[in-house]
Chains A and B, each alone.
Chain A
Amino acid sequence: MYSAAMVSKELVAASTVPMVLSILAGGDNYGYALIQRVRELSGGRIEWTDGMLYPVLHWMEKQALIQSEWREAETGRKRKYYRLRPEGRKNLLSGREEWLTVHHTLSKLWDIKPASI
């Protein structure tokens, strides 16, 4: 099942904030859906320990990158939705620059055509 290598813990840790911010840039969302989305997009190669996302979300909220709100879900139960704040948008842009720099540099070193943005 895991023929492709899983992304290392350290890299997963470093990329969590920009990933959450990027998903929220596309619309408000809740914890479980964020985890599902990353699992799906990475083909299962980025595996988050589900519970560990929540402290990160709360930390991001404290840093005023995102804000949260309880809303009623279609199941009738409540879910905590997160929304991007202006500070988060700024953070996303600078984070994007950094990741692209790493990506471009490695691509050149490995002689791979960098993926277009």
Chain B
Amino acid sequence: MGHQTRFDLNTALGRWRENLGRSPSLHAEELDEMEAHLRDATRGLTRQGLSEEEAFLVALRRLGGSAVLEPEFAKVHGGVWPRRLLWMLLGIQAWSVLSSLAGLCAGATEGLARFGGSELSASKPGIADLALPVGFYLLVYAAALAVCLRIGWRAFERKGARISAFMTRFFSRPVLALCSVPALLLTFAAARQLETMWLFHLHPLSTAGFYLYSQNIAGWVLFCLQSLGLAGLTLLIARRRLGIGGKSATPTHY
């Protein structure tokens, strides 16, 4: 017989985790919980006289494979895509807020630059005068987008369960959830208004605000409808598809 490698529980558990972790319907926290279960079960079975390797194999068999577990967890989580879509929508909204902030920063820099000396008394600012604020704006804009994507992805991967629990509590109070929509809209609107006042007053070149320029009512209506649509869609997915704040389907197997 060739020599056999010694069984190591941690290595075996690591391999098991790696396999099951590929499934998007199983979250890290659930894997933690089942890993604790496998450790307990293995310890219990070794006390009955099995070797650690045998005990681990039996415990694994009793726990069930990914083919059995995945659909049941997916049922509880309401599938992967609604969840992803929810994070994406939240990400878009966070990005919208951050981009407004970025616009504000750019406006402020230009304001400072103006105030600080280089007199732009000419009615038309030249390209050189716009380079700094627009460049700064683009930089912050790109950084904000990158940060939002990174945080959103991390949140989905790692803290999904905890954030879901928080949202469950949040959305289980309809008044709070309902109030959050106008609050969200107001925040966006205020940020955009400030941005418009700061930025477009000085140079009409940047941001998506061409249509928001000064007192463009149609632009405002469009913007509010867009925000309302996004917020509504987020709430709808949260409630209907993920069962956050409402009743969801019972896992049938049990």
Q: Which residues of A contact B (CB under 8 A)?
A: 9, 12-13, 16-17, 30-33, 36, 48-56, 58-59, 61-64, 73, 75, 77-80
Contact = CB atoms under 8 A, between A and B. Distances in A.
Contacts of A55: 69, 72-73, 75-76, 251, 254
Given A49-B62, A50-B62, A52-B72, A58 B250 contact: no
B254 A56 contact: yes
Chain A interface, >50% SS class: helix
B33 A54 contact: yes
B252 A13 contact: yes
A35 B226 CA distance: 49
Nearest to A61: B165
Interface in B185-208: none
Contacts of A58: 30, 73, 76
Contact of A16 (B41, B75, B254): B254
Contacts of A78: 32, 36
Given A51-B68, A52-B64, A59 B36 contact: no
Contacts of B247: 63
B96 to A, nearest CB: 29
B253 A13 contact: yes
A36 B43 CA distance: 13
Contact of A49 (B29, B33, B64, B252): B64
